[in-house]
Amino acid sequence: NAGVTQTPKFRILKIGQSMTLQCTQDMNHNYMYWYRQDPGMGLKLIYYSVGAGITDKGEVPNGYNVSRSTTEDFPLRLELAAPSQTSVYFCASAPASYGYTFGSGTRLTVV
Amino acid sequence: KQEVTQIPAALSVPEGENLVLNCSFTDSAIYNLQWFRQDPGKGLTSLLLIQSSQREQTSGRLNASLDKSSGRSTLYIAASQPGDSATYLCAVAQTGANNLFFGTGTRLTVIP
């Protein structure tokens, strides 16, 4: 049982580049989330989805986009990367609004 | 907007001590509260989940309490071990919101 799988684990981007952070879960969870964690801070919600085809903005959505074409996958797209997007990104899934399972994170540096 | 605060930010204790981590939240209209553990460079592991109707939950050496009316939760760790060293995060699921609101965490170091 893999749980929530995030790729890549580490990435360095140049300012202005774009990339997609991948997230896949194999637990048939309806709810999926993207959070970012800055040093010394709590996790902030970027986007979330309550099912395939449905996405919504969280607290800090600017500079990001998501899609949810299947139950399993919830990729996060960064367009025109900026230094302010340097952070650790966590994907999570849940069967409802409890019972969260988190991925191991993607550490992104924008230089 | 829900604000979650954790005190202290960091804590060092000798092995074997019992300890308490604190979490407070500003809006008592919560659905549940969770305590997570985060090891350096790793993801979050769920430790305990307390529903809003519950007062406490126990798992092994861990006991979490919830006082919704006062906006407080505590995580009690008995007989601490070096393997307990990690950052402990408190998170609140607010009624009507599809989100967890996280505190900034308490970094615990248990000294052998």
Res. B25 pLDDT band, cuts 50 70 90? very high
B8 contacts B106 by C-beta, under 8 angstroms = yes
Measuring CA to CA, how many Å separate A107 from each of A15, A58, A89, A92, B41? 16, 20, 6, 15, 9
Q: What is the mean pLDDT of residues B21-29?
A: 95
CA-closest candidate to residue A33, choices A55, A48, A54: A48
Residues from chain B contacting residue A45 (CB–CB below 8 Å): 99-100
Size of the A and B interface in Cβ pairs below 8 Å: 59
Closest B-chain CA to A104: B43
Reported as a single tens digit per residue, the pLDDT across A17-42 is: 999 999 999 999 999 999 999 987 88
Interface residue ranges in chain B relative to chain A, Cβ cutoff 8 Å: 4, 31-32, 34, 36, 41-46, 49, 51, 89, 91, 93, 97-105
Of A9, A19, A11, the C-alpha closest to A108 is A11
Q: Output phi, psi for A107, to 5 deg.
A: -95, 115
HEC string of chain A equals CCCEEEECCEEEECCCCCEEEEEEECCCCCEEEEEEECCCCCEEEEEEEEECCEEEECCCCCCEEECCCCCCECCEEECCCCHHHCEEEEEEEECCCCCCEECCCEEEEEC
pLDDT above 80 (res B48): yes
**What integer is the mean pLDDT of A47-65?**
94
Q: Is there a contact between A43 and B32 if contact means CB atoms under 8 Å apart? A: no
Cβ <8 Å between A41 and B104: yes
- Nearest CB partner across the interface for A50, out of B98, B100, B103: B98
Q: Are strands A10-13 and A106-110 parallel, antiparallel or unpaired?
A: parallel
pLDDT of the residue at A62: 96
> Is A31 in Cβ contact with B98 (below 8 Å)?
yes
Are A33 and A50 spatial neighbours (Cβ–Cβ below 8 Å)?
A: no
Closest chain A C-alpha to B91 CA, distance in angstroms: 9
Share of chain A above pLDDT 90, in %: 86
**pLDDT greater than 70 at residue A97:** no
Q: What is the pLDDT of residues B56-98, one digit of tens each?
A: 999 999 999 999 999 999 999 999 999 999 999 999 988 777 7
Residue B95: what pLDDT? Answer: 76
Nearest chain A residue to B94, by CA: A97
pLDDT at B9 over 80: yes
CA angle B64, B69, B71 (to 5 degrees): 60
Cβ B97 vs Cβ B25: under 8 Å: no
